[in-house]
Amino acid sequence: MIQTTAEKSPAPTADEIEAVRDAGARAAAAAKELRHASDGDVVGVIRRIAALLHQEQAAILAANAEDVAKAAANGLSTGMLDRLRLDPDRLAGMAEQLEVLAATPAPPRDRPIRTLPSGERVLQRRVPVGVVGAIFEARPNVPIDLGSQVLTARSAVVMRTGAAAIGTSACLVDRAVAPALSEGGLSPDAVQLLRLPGHGVADALTTQPDLIPLVVVRGSGDVTRRLSALGARSGVQVLSHADGGGVLYVDAAADVELAEKLIRDGLDRLGVCNRLNLLLLHESLSADVVNRLQDTLSRLDIAISREPYDHPLGYEWALDAGSEATVTVAKVGGARAAAELADAETSGLAATICTTDPVAAQTFLDSYGGTAVLWNTSTRLVDGFKMLGLPETGINVDRTLGPRGPVTFPDLGMRQFLVVPADAPGYGD
């Protein structure tokens, strides 16, 4: 089944708009409080959320099992079910990421720029956004990942999830996030989950620039692109993750055993955005090598899409219900051609080259313009926690100014300039 363009959503109802604006107003009030919270206060909340994930494990997993059962009965695809499902190990991993975040020193708020001829000092300061909106699909880890990042950035967040994940998401907010905020002396309104079904809520969330100036849209495909355009027309900045799909280029000088490993590593989960999606093979590779790589895919029960294609070359298989276990294979003439093809035909999320030739590697690294480019490493590494040591709010693939790739809490701030007297103490010292 090939993806089709999403139909236009009905306009938000008055009730949906009112719910979003009410949440935004309460979040704005909480954000003013958060702006003046100490590092210790916020770190304490993050650590308490981690503890509550362990303490409330049974309730969280029960809510998730109910969500998964309903979603499976409603025909949710295998890849999306994988995103939706929690187990003790995944829940423990979420708690571990919070502990790492809590132990991460905050970057300096002020950065000296220059001293003016008249003696005043110019500094650049990172200030909170205030309220961040968030829209995501069947991803129950996102309320924790995104909520913790926004809190650390001293902003509040209003979240909307798809119907498939709403039970788990509500349980996480009600049993872990809100209690941790209250116990830490901060308003639970700082992390809110909208619980109305329907796409109108998402539309309403991206059209309130006076209350929610920034929205993170963590999803894939046409719906996310539509929300990005809607936000732009409304004056809301949208950090979108509309498309994914990792690229692996196997060069003429590749270590074949390593290439086989990168294929296996890139397909350990089929429903994630940074999985192997497009496999590019140098046209000079021998038939024996090509057969070995294709056999590796076969042993993983992965189907191969070959020429002539009935889809765009960078078509994202993770979103194709029933065909997630597919990889597109194509031949290219060399490293530069591979990088340029990946640029032109895919989302630009990530591409890797497998080669022992440093010249070919340098050519590939210098020619690819996506958010992350790698040498002899799987694109599955392109993840906030794996690559940067921090949970992420999502991976932004926009080719514009602003944060690209995995977005973490230092990215969720605005630039402000300060000019202070030369002898003013405590500014950038």
Which DSSP state fits 422? T
Beta carbons of 52 and 45 less than 8 angstroms apart: no
CATH architecture of 14-107+122-242: 3-Layer(aba) Sandwich (3.40)
pLDDT in tens, 312-362: 999 999 888 789 999 999 999 999 999 999 999 998 999 999 999 999 999
* Rounded Cα–Cα distance for residues 420 and 5 (Å): 53
CATH architecture of 246-387: 3-Layer(aba) Sandwich (3.40)
> For 312, phi and psi rounded to 5 degrees?
-60, 150
| Per-chain mean pLDDT for the chain | 91
Does position 92 have pLDDT exceeding 60, yes or no? yes
Instruction: Give the mean model confidence (pLDDT) for residues 113-127.
Output: 93
List the end-to-end C-alpha distance of the chain, in Å, as a whole number. Answer: 59
Instruction: Give the mean model confidence (pLDDT) for residues 71-89.
Output: 88
Does position 306 have pLDDT exceeding 80, yes or no? yes
Between these two residues, 390 and 248, which has the higher pLDDT value? 248
**What residues does each domain of the chain span?**
14-107+122-242, 246-387
* Rounded Cα–Cα distance for residues 56 and 92 (Å): 11
